Amino acid sequence: MTTTTPEAPTYQGAAQRRKHISMPTPQVPRQRRSPEEIAAAQRFQEPKRVLLAAPRGYCAGVDRAVVAVEKALEQYGPPVYVRKEIVHNRHVVDTLTEKGVVFVEETDEVPEGGLLVFSAHGVSPAVKASAADRGLQTIDATCPLVTKVHREAVRFTTKDDFHILLIGHDGHEEVEGTYGHAPQNTTIVNGPWEVDQIEVPDPDKLIWLSQTTLSVDEAMETVQKLRQRFPNLQDPPSDDICYATSNRQAAIKKIAPETDLVIVVGSANSSNSVRLKEVAKEYGATRAERVDFANQVDESWFEDAATIGVTSGASVPEVLVQEVLRLLAEYGYGDPEEVVTAEEDIVFSLPKEIRKALKEAGHDDVGRGGRKRSACSTS
């Protein structure tokens, strides 16, 4: 059986040191085969290694959104309503629920005059209008990199009269939000397999945009196929797949060829976490698994795994990775060797509604988001 032990060593990589996660470590005991039993089943001779990807975990947009909700709770008290999951991570959602956040699917579930936060994935103008109709006080925690895509959608369809081919997963909240900015002039393309079927109004007035959390390789394959079919397809001014998605995929690409097993910490509805698992397999990991928590790691995976890679999606607090590393240490794996492929120091300003509330409450440092500059973060 494994439990969380406060004395257990905590490994903090360069990319993660600046993040002070306020959420408690989940206590998740589970019946397991013992380390001795697993060791007896392991036939390989190599030392047992752990390669830890960096960057991994929280991105600036997720950090901003979670801090925004925490500060809303502090300033206004519960209940704070959040439309959809603030970020796609079970632990984050469960922790905020315990603190008094009420997650709803739509604006009509919020009592008139209530306080509603829009999630990091963004919303369509129709959702904002519906909230305004109900007299809701709103805080928009949409990631600025998603807002950038929204602005592009509006600009290219209204000013330049383009039709948008939006590469992304139909039904994902971010795609719904972007689509909702130009619904009459947007076609969603789920992947390269759909390119031959799509119909467009004018093949010479097309531009592609994308969801921010796709597989970089698959998105480029879709663009290539689209361009073969529509040679005059325009590129967006800059990539929509965000720095955090690209960086986490680059890190796992570097590690994957050396690993027998990659463990991705992240939730099943987290697009970028699911992509990390796929990328790990594509780039040579013998096996790749995704878990929400360390207690979902099956110790039988270790039987053929001399080298294990570990990473986490952009909505995953570092405490959840630390749990997995402690488990690996219990089963005799060595200190994690961090493989750094990029340094990240991006911090986004908190939503303007929160900054205004903090200023009115007399807090000095309200200009920027992120926990390290927070004047009154819960921790």
Interacting residues toward ligand SF4 by CB under 6 A: 59-62, 120, 143, 145-146, 212-213, 242, 244-245, 272, 314
- Give the separation between CA 120 and CA 151, rounded to whole angstroms: 16
* Least distance between ligand SF4 and beta carbon 330 (Å): 31
| Torsion-angle region of 362 (φ positive above 0: left; ψ -120 to 50: alpha; else: beta) | left
Nearer to ligand SF4, 259 or 270 (CB): 270
End-to-end CA distance of the chain: 29
Directed axis angle between helix 271-282 and helix 243-255, to 10°? Answer: 30
Residue 279, number of CB atoms within 10 A of its CB: 26
* Secondary structure class of 49 (helix, strand, coil): strand
* Least distance between ligand SF4 and beta carbon 148 (Å): 9
- Give the separation between CA 282 and CA 309, rounded to whole angstroms: 14
* Least distance between ligand SF4 and beta carbon 272 (Å): 6
Phi, psi of 260 (to 5 degrees): -95, -25
* Least distance between ligand SF4 and beta carbon 284 (Å): 24
- Per residue, the 3-state secondary structure of 104-157, as one string, reads ECCHHHCCCCCEEEECCCCCCHHHHHHHHHCCCEEEECCCHHHHHHHHHHHHHH
- Give the separation between CA 191 and CA 29, rounded to whole angstroms: 40
Nearer to ligand SF4, 61 or 336 (CB): 61
- Give the separation between CA 98 and CA 101, rounded to whole angstroms: 7
In the β-sheet with 137-140, what is the strand arrangement from edge to edge? 101-104, 80-83, 115-118, 137-140
- The closest alpha carbon to 343, from 55, 19, 52, 59, belongs to 55
* Least distance between ligand SF4 and beta carbon 121 (Å): 7
* Least distance between ligand SF4 and beta carbon 286 (Å): 27
Nearer to ligand SF4, 143 or 195 (CB): 143
Active site residue 152: no
- Give the separation between CA 7 and CA 5, rounded to whole angstroms: 5
Phi, psi of 76 (to 5 degrees): -110, -15
Nearest residue to ligand SF4, using CB? 61
Give me the catalytic one of 74, 85, 152, 174. 174
* Least distance between ligand SF4 and beta carbon 116 (Å): 19
**151 CB burial (10 A radius; 0-12, 13-18, 19+):** exposed
Residues that are catalytic: 174
